[in-house]
A and B are shown apart, each in its own frame.
Chain A
Amino acid sequence: MSKILIKNGRIIDPANSIDTMGSLCIADGKVLQVINPATDFTPDQVIDAAGQIVCPGFIDLSVRLREPGHSQKGSIKSETRAALSAGVTSLCLPPDTKPCIDSPAVVEYIKDKAEAANYSQIYSIGALTQRLDGNELSSMFALKQAGCIAVSNARAPLGNLLILRRAMEYASSHDLLLLYRANEAALSGKGCAHEGAIATRYGLPGIPVAAESIALAQALELAQLTGCRIHISQISCKQSVIKIQQAKKYGLNVTADVAIHQLHLTENDVTPFDSHYHVIPPFRSEEDCYYLCDGLANGTIDAICSDHQPHDLDAKLGAFPETEPGIAALETLLPLTLKFAEQHKLELTQALASLTQNPAAILGLDAGSLTAGFQADICIFDPKQKWEVNPETWRSAGRNTPYWQQTLTGKVTHTLQAGRLVYSF
């Protein structure tokens, strides 16, 4: 395997508290040395990263690839290509594919497709219940053996709290992490927008924050009871931040993430009836957004994910409540994270930790850092480069983003996966 030298860049490695100018040596797919290359290192390839930032590749906790089952919206090939252009070198695929990820065969299918697409790190999340029906436990041990590192019921509801309890007990027996999307379905109902002034004004069925925070409180109680390792996915409101903060304070082993767009948009930004703003959980109030940002800055929220959900045109073409929720968000992940850091005066190291070191720790992966000996998953980006979101720059098959045709700052220039240059701009 080739040797690569990345030189003249600003190296940021949150896990090792590194933020310095220097070089990075890669050999045999692994990180060899950071900052000071050995004099006898003879690279086959040199990447000049002058003016750029060199950091670990991003680990995204929620990326829908739309394959298998929804090929009109995207494919493993198209979406992993988008991921690499966004600096995302590892990603978690939620189990709500079609068929869902409730058997080793589906995991194998995804692995084969990933290999064909030349993308090495898709982490399939196993279904918590068979067919995601919320009632019968899946064969979690078989899923784990097939390569699932965590289980989840995605957005599908669970039959009742006893099933959640049993699922937690069983998952933790096999040392599986539970990724939990907090939503009390009876309270969210057919809602499509935050229950607040805007939903009231436009007559849109609302989703109260309590739909999330009540389900979250129940899950935290059960995690305490069962000892299950639980990660709360894509929280959206103040009450959730407060509950997680309290749980952490009292020693519960819980982590949480937030979708990047939740740190920027609120109900007030929703253009009336523009389906690109239709997302679940919905954009909440200014106050909720403030608490999410604060929660991320103070460490209550551990990670940022894209919650990437590409859609075909038809899925977003209709009256707002009838359209499918979700935003194609992989490619806006970095620029929006940089914008967040700037707006909230957050050290770049800390912001990048929420995309690298922290998600790696949540998943228990030896990744997300530039530690010598680690697989060389690297992202190099120009933090100042402006680019417009348009058909020329965009790679995902889904163009459903509220940022379409807007100019963003921060562009990935090179992505390396296991020491191979897999993307360069």
Chain B
Amino acid sequence: MSLPLQLTKSGQLKHFLSIDGLDQALLTEILDTAESFAGMSEHQVKKVPLLRGKTIVNLFFENSTRTRTTFELAATRLSADVLNINIATSATSKGESLLDTIRNLEAMHVDMFVVRHAISGAAHFIAQHTAPHISVINAGDGQHAHPTQAMLDMFTIRQHKKQFAGLKVAIVGDILHSRVARSQIRALNALGVAEVRVIAPKTLLPAYVESMGVIPLHDMHEGLRDVDVIIMLRLQKERMNSAFLPSEGEFFRCYGLTEAKLKLAKPDAIVMHPGPINRGVEIASSVADGPQSVILQQVSNGIAVRMAIMTMTMGSHGASV
């Protein structure tokens, strides 16, 4: 089932809530648009006036430094006015409902909400209930989706691998709780990679994960063999010493990415991570800082990709820089 809510009748992006339901052409268009913004960061003047006069609200119900900062930079470079609202210290903690928060902000004539929320479906809910001229971008909702992260990952993969056809990609770690993994899986399959493997113990794999078009594996040695891309996921500390996992040590031994395990992949394989990384838990420092790591490029690319998605949902396509 697609989420037709995020597309206009002519098939253009209205909201950006999920990769689910978006086709290869549209995802490619996002990547191409991002490409046109990518060089801008090196310019002396880093701004374009595409969203001048528009007001963008970063509505973060969950803490995030990296995602919020790159959204803010992206909006600023498009000349939009940005309002950051940290809900942890705001009205909803005083009992105001999500909808009332949204309605109040709407009354201030904003043009876009960038939403992060701990509950799956929150961005979708907001998109359903906002005024028609407002676009909603999902900056992560519960365990459902984090589509801008997935697109910046696709952008980074394309930078290094040129095309998606034929690629073998391994996603390693806590798939169960990961909205990033869900969006990556959708995007990779839509863009036509050869194979997506998910590698984790069964405690960290969702039920019927293979229905998303992936191969579930429990052994890194089997899983990393001959892959082109390795995506490591962040493991939340609270999963340790619980029924999910016995200890950090055992997780690192089985699923941590070390130089030795990296050798199983293709020699030119790239190593990715959505950040923030837990050194020595899911990834060894020598790999995270090593020559095959593209982790910091992912962060830089986040700005261009978010600029692309913001302009596309607001109806302007491409940039003349």
A-B complex is real:
yes
Could you say which of A197, A200, A203 contacts B142, with CB atoms under 8 Å apart?
Answer: A203
- Asked if B120 and A204 make an inter-chain contact with CB atoms under 8 angstroms apart, the answer reads yes
Within 8 A of B (CB), among A308-325: 314, 317-322
The CA of A318 and the CA of B212, in the complex, are separated in Å by: 26
Within 8 A of A (CB), among B178-200: 179, 182
**B142 contacts across to A, CB distance below 8 A:** 203, 319, 321
The CA of A208 and the CA of B182, in the complex, are separated in Å by: 20
Q: Which residue of A lies closest to B117 (CB)?
A: A319
- Asked if B182 and A321 make an inter-chain contact with CB atoms under 8 angstroms apart, the answer reads no
**B145 contacts across to A, CB distance below 8 A:** 203
Q: Which DSSP category, helix, strand, loop or mixed, fits chain A's interface?
A: loop
- Asked if A200 and B125 make an inter-chain contact with CB atoms under 8 angstroms apart, the answer reads no
How many A residues touch B, CB cutoff 8 Å? 22
Could you say which of A199, A271, A319, A321 contacts B1, with CB atoms under 8 Å apart?
Answer: A271
Q: Which residue of A lies closest to B120 (CB)?
A: A203
Number of chain B interface residues as a range: 20 to 34
Per-residue contact bits, chain A 194-233, to B (CB 8 Å; 1 contact, 0 not): 0111011111111010000000000000000000000000
- Asked if B119 and A197 make an inter-chain contact with CB atoms under 8 angstroms apart, the answer reads no
A373 at the interface (CB under 8 A from B): no
Q: How far is the CB of A200 from chain B (nearest CB, A)?
A: 4
- Asked if A200 and B121 make an inter-chain contact with CB atoms under 8 angstroms apart, the answer reads no
Per-residue contact bits, chain B 195-211, to A (CB 8 Å; 1 contact, 0 not): 00000000000111101
**B143 contacts across to A, CB distance below 8 A:** 203-205
A273 at the interface (CB under 8 A from B): yes
The CA of A196 and the CA of B209, in the complex, are separated in Å by: 9
A272 at the interface (CB under 8 A from B): yes
- Asked if B98 and A318 make an inter-chain contact with CB atoms under 8 angstroms apart, the answer reads yes
Q: How far is the CB of B116 from chain A (nearest CB, A)?
A: 12
Q: How far is the CB of B109 from chain A (nearest CB, A)?
A: 23
**A317 contacts across to B, CB distance below 8 A:** 97, 99
Interface residues of B (CB under 8 A from A): 1, 3, 20, 97-99, 117, 119-122, 124-125, 141-145, 179, 182, 206-209, 211-212
Q: Can you name 23 A-B residue pairings with CB atoms under 8 Å? A: A200-B207, A200-B208, A200-B211, A201-B182, A201-B212, A202-B121, A203-B120, A203-B141, A204-B144, A208-B207, A272-B3, A272-B124, A314-B97, A317-B97, A319-B119, A319-B121, A319-B122, A319-B124, A319-B141, A319-B142, A320-B120, A320-B125, A322-B119
New A-B pairs, 15, CB < 8 Å, besides A196-B207, A204-B121, A320-B119? A195-B207, A197-B208, A197-B211, A200-B212, A202-B144, A203-B179, A204-B143, A272-B3, A273-B121, A318-B97, A318-B99, A319-B122, A319-B124, A320-B121, A321-B120
Interface residues of A (CB under 8 A from B): 195-197, 199-206, 208, 271-273, 314, 317-322
